[in-house]
Amino acid sequence: MDESIAAPVSSPSAWAAFGDEIWQGRVRVEQVGSTNVLHCAVDKLAALCERLMSSGEHMFATLVVEDEGAQLLLTYVFYPVKGGAFTHVVIRQPISKLHVPSIAATVPAADWHEREAADLFGLAFDGHPRLGAFVLHDGWPESAQPMRREFDIHDRTSVPSRRDVPEPNRSLDAPGSFSMPVGPVFSDLAESAHFRIETLGEDVSRIAVRFFYKYRAVEKLAEGQPLDRVLLLAERFSGAAAFAHGLAFCQAVEDIAHVTVPARAMVLRAILAELERLRSHAATITGICNSTALAVATSQAAMIEEDLLRLSAFVTGHRYLFGMLTPGGLAIDLPDELCRQTAAQAEMIARHMARLHRLLRQSSSFLDRLEEVGATSSAAAALLGLVGPVARASGVARDIRALFPYAAYREYPPQVPIEMQGDGYARLRVFFREAAESAALMARLAARIPDGAVSLADIALCQGAALGAVEAPLGAAFHWVRLGADGRVLRYHITPPSFANWPGFQFAAEEFAFQDFPIILATFGLSNAECDR
């Protein structure tokens, strides 16, 4: 980005409007590789973002804040919903003036991103009504801004002081209303999070969430670390989607280094990614069956999940595919025969899943609890920027594999299933259909594996930044990596699908009967480890 400052793009007519006439020279358009970078004056930010969103062609991906010492660099990443080039809106704010206009009012998907940046960088997003008490909890030192350069994450001395976090806002003010607290320690095997079910008794009107109980400051830990070390973090911050996140990180690094991994690695990566998707969806289906207390189905789904875990370990040595990736390819090669066996095994397991799906479809008591529960409209899904199977169940068919093909997906495009109802049952159907497609795709991939090396011998690391985009099992994952001159990571920003989708849960879980709460939760299938980082 630094070395390739180009003249303002004038030829593509779509960008003409960003020229001087309207924006009075306050927006400068630049093409970096295939990315459109719009350098923007702070006062034009909101208008520019609104303009980008108004056409309906762009979706907000993530907000990356980077501390450059004297100033903060804010990159608002948008992606075209029909594929093509990413658009980065870049603004710079001196460290002395940490006020930025909030774009959340026009780009609702940016809401949580701004709240996160506000907590971690001490940025004030003017006009955002709900800043504070988001990432940082009781126990964090007063006025700590962990992502700022001067904050030492390894220093434990300042920890014991307690900030007095105010009670979460009650969003329902009615005589006799109260909040039912759920968590952070749940009564079953759920991840730590806190839900406040605002109710008058029985009927729930709203759910207030308090997350980041699992905030491990992964992005901060990555700073200054060598790639190999950061890869461990990328795999392990969300072990259930380790391969996808590791892959996104590796792709970003490969992009910076301007290298292309060997064709064999491309195919093997796709096979393993689909194996992970299959297993993750099996786990989500287990959760959905469990939430409706359908014991036999839960057991069946859990056995399918365990079969896939064993298959993963059989193929790669690790049940969660840890340690398979390396920038430039894969850490070890897998024999073609093994891959074909794996794909065959996966197809057999997929048949078990299809049978389970058929049985579930015939259980009216099960369907009664899922249908019309936690419905998300197509418009809401688009507005909130939902991703992955949850968005696809609401008719928003965004799949990074199809929009920005990576690994072997260009040659082997997946079929992206889509459902329109947006309710719990639609989400279940999407999970089942995607799982079936993953197994089929594995078979297609394993049928013709190119020969050759599985990894580049060596990668010449260079300075720069790139965005790795991967369709993780739960949806689009965006990993922003900036490498320093020494090849170490300067900034690592992860936008996991769970982070994008939790607001969707909050919207779907409104005005419902209390007993549907676990079902809505399970059909979203979200992970707090992934969201909280």
Near another protein in 188-217, by CB under 8 A: 188-192, 194, 196, 199-203, 205-206, 212-217
Interaction residues for another protein, span 81-110 (CB under 8 A): 104-105, 108
The smaller minimum CB distance to another protein, of residues 294 and 442, is found at: 294
Distance CA 42, CA 474 (A): 34
Considering beta carbons, is residue 28 or 281 the nearer one to another protein? 281
Q: How far is the CB of 307 from another protein (least distance, A)?
A: 9
Q: Closest approach of Cβ 325 to another protein, in Å? A: 11
Bond prior to 184 in cis (omega within 30° of 0): yes
User: Do 305 and 286 contact (CB within 8 A), yes or no?
Assistant: yes
Among 300, 421, 455, 501, binds another protein (CB under 8 A): 300
Beta bridge partners of 30: 37
Contact (Cβ atoms closer than 8 angstroms) between residue 414 and residue 363: no
Phi, psi for 6 (deg, rounded to 5): -105, 170
Smaller CB separation from another protein, 108 or 389 = 108
Least separation in angstroms between CB 147 and another protein: 11
> Which CB, 105 or 344, lies closer to another protein?
105
The rounded distance, in Å, linking the Cα atoms of 209 and 212 is 10
Q: Quick one: 405 or 525, whose CB is closer to another protein?
A: 525
Closest distance to another protein from the beta carbon of 275 (Å) = 12
Choices 49-57, 335-343, 392-400, 504-512; region in contact with another protein by CB under 8 A: 504-512
From residue 517, alpha-carbon distances to 136, 199, 433 in Å are: 26, 12, 24
* Cα-based distances in Å from 465 to 150, 509, 514: 22, 38, 46
- Interacting residues of 140 by C-beta distance below 8 A, sequence separation 6+: 146, 159, 163
The nearer residue to another protein, 256 or 325, going by C-beta atoms, is 325
**Phi, psi of 63, rounded to the nearest 5 degrees:** -120, 120
C-alpha–C-alpha distance, residues 156 and 159, integer Å? 5
Site for another protein (CB under 8 A): which residue of 26, 92, 163, 319? Answer: 319
Is residue 124 involved in binding another protein (CB under 8 A)?
no
377 binds another protein (CB under 8 A): no
The number of angstroms, rounded, from the C-alpha of 302 to the middle of its chain's C-alpha atoms is: 24
The residue from 76, 86, 320, 499 that contacts another protein (CB under 8 A) is 320
Should residue 527 be labelled a site residue for another protein when binding is judged by CB under 8 A?
Answer: yes
Stretch that binds another protein, among 46-54, 67-75, 266-274, 308-316 (CB under 8 A): 308-316
**Looking only at residues 452 through 481 of this chain, which bind another protein when binding is defined by CB under 8 A?**
none
CA 71 – CA 519 distance, rounded (Å): 45
Q: Which stretch binds another protein (CB under 8 A): 34-42, 252-260, 370-378, 503-511?
A: 503-511
Stretch that binds another protein, among 28-36, 147-155, 446-454, 477-485 (CB under 8 A): 147-155
- Which residue from 218, 338, 354, 418 is in contact with another protein, where contact means CB under 8 A? 218
Tokens of 85: 């080039």
Retrieve residue 316's tokens.
Answer: 């790669």
Shortest distance in whole angstroms from residue 444 CB to another protein: 24
- State the Cα–Cα distance between residues 285 and 429, nearest whole angstrom: 10
Q: Write down the least CB distance from residue 426 to another protein, Å.
A: 21
- Hey, what amino acid is at 30? E
Which of 22, 4, 37, 475 is CA-nearest to residue 280?
475
Burial of residue 21 (number of CB atoms within 10 Å: 0-12, 13-18, 19+)? exposed
Nearer to another protein, 38 or 49 (CB): 49
Contacts of another protein in 126-145 (CB under 8 A): 129-130, 137-141, 144
Question: Which is closer to another protein, CB of 343 or CB of 416?
Answer: 343
Question: Minimum distance between the CB of residue 221 and another protein, rounded to whole angstroms?
Answer: 6
Residue window 16-35: x/- pattern of binding to another protein, with contact defined by CB under 8 A: --------------------
> Residue 429 is which amino acid?
R
Helix (H, G, I), strand (E, B) or coil at 328: coil
Binders of another protein among residues 227 to 266 (CB under 8 A) are 228-229, 232-233, 236-242
Residue 158 or 415: which CB sits closer to another protein?
158
Closest CA to 438 of 464, 468, 487, 399: 399
Sole binder of another protein in the list 299, 337, 368, 448 (CB under 8 A): 299
Q: Nearest distance from residue 41's CB to another protein, in Å?
A: 24
Contacts (CB under 8 A) with another protein, residues 331-360: 331-332, 359
* Closest CA relative to residue 512, chosen from 332, 375, 420: 375
Both tokens of residue 284? 């989500």
Which positions from 505 through 524 interact with another protein, judged by CB under 8 A?
Answer: 506-507, 510
- Decide: is 296 part of the binding site for another protein (CB under 8 A): yes
Tell me if 87 sits within 8 A of 38, measured CB to CB.
yes
Residue 332 DSSP code? S
Question: With CB under 8 A, what is the number of residues at the site for another protein?
Answer: 115
**Do the beta carbons of residue 192 and residue 532 sit within 8 Å?**
no
Residue span binding another protein (CB under 8 A) among the ranges 6-14, 54-62, 79-87, 305-313: 305-313
Tokens of 468: 């790795």
- From residue 314, give the alpha-carbon distance in Å to each of 128, 216, 442, 522: 50, 31, 16, 29
41 vs 23, 108, 117, 121, CA distance in Å?
Answer: 10, 21, 19, 20
Q: Which is nearer to another protein, 314 or 420 (CB)?
A: 314
Residues 414-453 that bind another protein (CB under 8 A): none
Contact positions with another protein (CB under 8 A) in 269-288: 283, 286
Q: Which of residues 160-189 bind another protein (CB under 8 A)?
A: 165, 167, 169-189
